Amino acid sequence: MPRAADPLAQYNAKRDFALTPEPAGKVEKGAGNRFIVQKHDATRLHYDLRLEVDGVLKSWAVTKGPSPDPADKRLAVRTEDHPMSYADFEGGIPKGEYGGGTVMLWDRGTWAPIAGKSAKDIDQGHLHFTLDGTRMKGEWLLVRMKPRPGEKRENWLLRKVDDAFAGGTDDLVGRELTSILTGRTMAEIAGDEGGEQSLKGAKGATFAKKMADAAAHNKKIAKPAAKGKLPKFRPLQLATLVDAVPGGNGWFHEIKYDGYRAEIAAAGSDVRIYTRNGLDWTDKFAPLVRHIAALDLPPCLIDGEIVAYGKDGNPDFSSLQAVLKRGHGAQDEGTALHLFAFDLLELGGKSLANLGNLERKERLEALLRDAKAPIAVADHVIGAGEKLYEAMCRAGQEGIISKRADAGYSGRRSKNWLKVKCTRRQEFILVGWNPSSAKARPFASLLLAQREGDTLIYKGNVGTGFDSDTMADLAKKFARLERKTAPLDVDAAAARKVHWLRPELVAEIAFAEFTASGSVRHASFLGLRSDKEAKDVTPEKKQPTPTPESDVTISSRDRVIFPEAKATKGDLADYYGAIAPVMLPHAARRPISLVRCPQGRGKKCFFQKHDSGSFGDHVLHVPIKEKDGGHEDYLYVEDADGLLACVQMGTIEFHGWGSHVDSLEKPDRMVFDLDPDEGLDFADVKKAALDIRRQLADIGLVSFAMLSGGKGVHVVVPLDPGHSWDKHKDFSKRFAEALSMAEPDRFIATMSKAKRKGKIFIDYLRNQRGSTAVMPYSARAREQAPVAVPIGWDALADVEKAGQWTIKDSDELLARAVGPELKGWGFANQTLPDF
């Protein structure tokens, strides 16, 4: 875009400042490196990226908003330069004026070209730069596209560079819905025309004061300080060493990080970090604590691993010890330390220990959706554990952790968590040292032991893996632990010239194998384990890998259930067995209604929500009070066997309540089922879903899309339980009716078939007590055996029909479920607003 003599001439020419509250344009001297992003609901919703250059804000309208996914190339249309005073603008531009609509200050911070580049690169059609904002961080690229013939506007592409800040929240603009300045939603800003915070007619100092007042007022309302007690330490779940990776989709697998196991208790700015034994190491990890505190988390208890990276870019235990030894000042404000969180034990004062491993992980994803490096949620894969194990071994890593997807958190060692190691590594107690003939070495080797019962047993020596600093540090510790006699039985040859130690220090040792006599071969010292106590150091022996088999037998596997798809009862059972890990986080522990078709699709299918006991032990019951005052036992399931027991009884579909069995009267899931008239195209339904998402976002609610597997799309709104069913239904009813009144030609909020011609029915009736909605990943009793499938909002555009996936696509659905598109799908910590 050519530079004008007055860079703000175009900005001023487009606006009538007697009508718009926007500031008049004049070149000002700024800080030189400011950036902002404004969410702008004009003719089309977009996000204006503005970078301070030469006293003005260079501007691009990013049509879909910024994405932290490096694979996303977002169209960014160059617009006129804006004045520096625009960097604080938030409010309403009158309709009919240029850019008429609502403007939210969505992000702000500082920017800088990367080394060797400059802002002048914009004139050349590219800019490689870093952002340090609240929501946008790390490296980004702006690249100008080649113009098409006759095209007047200047089109660029905005893309995130793959760095430590890439990924994270896959749908950044869909998750971040409030002003970075005032905490207001778009609806609150738009509705503030005549209120205390109205900016109409405000200029200069008056404008600035009103914005400051709005910020002070709304921040208190929009995001109060996290309330609740800091959770207490609870015993950690420990993994059992096994000899092979468990098979099947009932397991998911994570990298076994080479660091310190940590339990993090947080409530807003109050953060504590505990070791595996409950020692308070908050001070040792102070820089990392500051990063966690900045997230302002609700009361929660997180399980994870703290690591530091070695020179090869991999987590390295020795590097972690070196970082801790240097102290806080040398840690580059915490970036030398990284937290990989992998479990969520408590949230909002409620224990999550009884939930399945994968459901807790999904809730953790939602909780840490705003986290940036050095905090991350550990990635995982479902099934395919052998491939991950082989990759870790090739990379020289320690191994993997395998977790049974539907198992709870027991706080002890069990076979629901397994570890498969690439190398032999164990903890040993240091019981003595051999003197060295070399002057530079304070010792030649160390004697190792482990406890077997109440007895210390000698396990050989280690003489490698020490640098000079480590040897000097150990020598100081040895001087304080000297003893005259051996603390264990050792043969005369091994005890010759040994200086004995009190058995208090624990070391991590890598070794090739144990000899026939029980000593380590080719041992190498890795570091001291001050987070572990000597009394707990016992031999770790590999156990056989468990091979769990379902207790449910599927009879008549060859019976054809879906004639058009030639799919059998066995095929359906195999689908549910495979998909159970990602279905259960949404379907488990909710009262369910089943669509049973014992003879196949379309042959005397019926709903069932009660059970006289014919489903077996894996299908559970919860008594629920009916309208007549009596109680009936409703069905629910907790694990894969529960799903399969229902399939054995002819079930095709699973429909669930909007609440869980442990809090039946507190709904936590709102669903808007978009049911189109037969004459409408699926593209109309997709557009409607996106519009509803936008309307929900304007009032501060994050929502998710799900293909129903039938004709439409479900818009799913997860909520913190705490409100009543009456409020739940009332809100959804008023929301649906408001849409139908605003666009009566598109939407209808009543069930009347006669009035639905050419419209989309917004079915809010799923949100009343006792009503159900189809569960994510449920099969549907329709032609070709389609499935209800969660879908990312960006991916929805490429979907051709609501039944795009079928029960034959379980492998693809599992791969999608753990990908960035669906990370944390269906979970969000948010409350129903008072509207």
CA-to-CA distance for 535 and 61, rounded, in angstroms?
Answer: 62
| The pLDDT of residue 197 | 43
3-state class (DSSP) for residue 529: coil
Residue 100 pLDDT more than 90? yes
pLDDT, one tens digit per residue, over 532-568 is: 899 999 999 889 988 777 789 999 999 999 999 999 9
Which region among 220-224, 473-477, 508-512, 636-640 has the lowest average model confidence (pLDDT)? 220-224
Report the pLDDT averaged over residues 7-34: 87
| The pLDDT of residue 549 | 72
pLDDT, one tens digit per residue, over 129-159 is: 999 999 999 999 999 999 888 888 899 999 9
Which region among 7-16, 194-203, 274-283 has the lowest average model confidence (pLDDT)? 194-203
- One-character DSSP codes across 714-764: EEEEE--S-S-HHHHHHHHHHHHHHHHHH-TTTEE-S--TGGGTTSEEEE-
CA-to-CA distance for 300 and 298, rounded, in angstroms?
Answer: 6
Sign of the dihedral defined by the CA atoms of residues 26, 31, 34, 36, in that order: negative
Residue 198 pLDDT more than 50? no
CA-to-CA distance for 147 and 608, rounded, in angstroms?
Answer: 60
Residue 327 pLDDT more than 90? no
Alpha helices in 622-708 (DSSP H): 640-648, 682-698
pLDDT, one tens digit per residue, over 522-540 is: 999 999 998 889 999 999 9
pLDDT, one tens digit per residue, over 436-488 is: 988 889 999 999 999 999 999 999 999 999 989 899 999 999 999 999 999 99
Residue 256 is a catalytic residue: yes
Best CA proximity match to 662, nearest among 611, 615, 624: 624
| The pLDDT of residue 360 | 96
Helices (H) and strands (E) in the chain, counts: 16, 43
| The pLDDT of residue 333 | 42
Report the pLDDT averaged over residues 801-822: 94
| The pLDDT of residue 208 | 52
Residue 222 pLDDT more than 90? no
Longest dimension (CA), the chain: 98
> Angle 792-796-799 (CA atoms, 0-180°, nearest 5)?
130
Residue 677 pLDDT more than 80? yes
Partners of 634 in the β-ladder: 610, 622
Q: Residue 424's CB: how many other CB atoms inside 10 A?
A: 17
Kindly give, in sequence order, each residue whose CB lies less than 8 Å from that of residue 420, ignoring residues fewer than 6 positions away.
241, 242, 243, 244, 245, 385, 389, 399, 400, 402
pTM for the model stands at 0.82
CA-to-CA distance for 431 and 448, rounded, in angstroms?
Answer: 6
Which region among 49-53, 543-547, 810-814 has the lowest average model confidence (pLDDT)? 543-547
59 CB-side CA count, 13 A = 24
> Angle 239-244-249 (CA atoms, 0-180°, nearest 5)?
80
pLDDT, one tens digit per residue, over 264-313 is: 999 999 999 999 999 999 999 998 999 999 999 999 999 999 999 888 88
CA-to-CA distance for 318 and 311, rounded, in angstroms?
Answer: 11
Q: Give yes or no for a contact between 674 and 739, defined as CB atoms under 8 angstroms apart.
A: no
Residue 570 — pLDDT band, cuts 50, 70, 90? very high
| The pLDDT of residue 336 | 86
Report the pLDDT averaged over residues 153-182: 86
| The pLDDT of residue 705 | 97
Q: Give yes or no for a contact between 757 and 743, defined as CB atoms under 8 angstroms apart.
A: no
Tokens 């990908």 found at: 819
| The pLDDT of residue 212 | 57
| The pLDDT of residue 174 | 87
Which region among 9-23, 190-204, 228-242, 431-445 has the lowest average model confidence (pLDDT)? 190-204
CA-to-CA distance for 232 and 272, rounded, in angstroms?
Answer: 9
CA gyration radius for the chain?
30
Domains belonging to the chain, first-starting first, are 9-222 (no CATH), 238-421 (3.30.470.30), 424-536 (2.40.50.140), 560-822 (3.90.920.10)
Residue 334 — pLDDT band, cuts 50, 70, 90? very low
In single-letter form, the type of residue at position 227 comes to: K
Q: Six-digit token pair at 27?
A: 């070149």
> Among the options 39, 160, 256, 686, which is catalytic?
256
| Helix or strand holding residue 774 (H, E) | strand 773-774
- Mean per-residue pLDDT of the chain: 90
Report the pLDDT averaged over residues 37-61: 95
| The pLDDT of residue 61 | 97
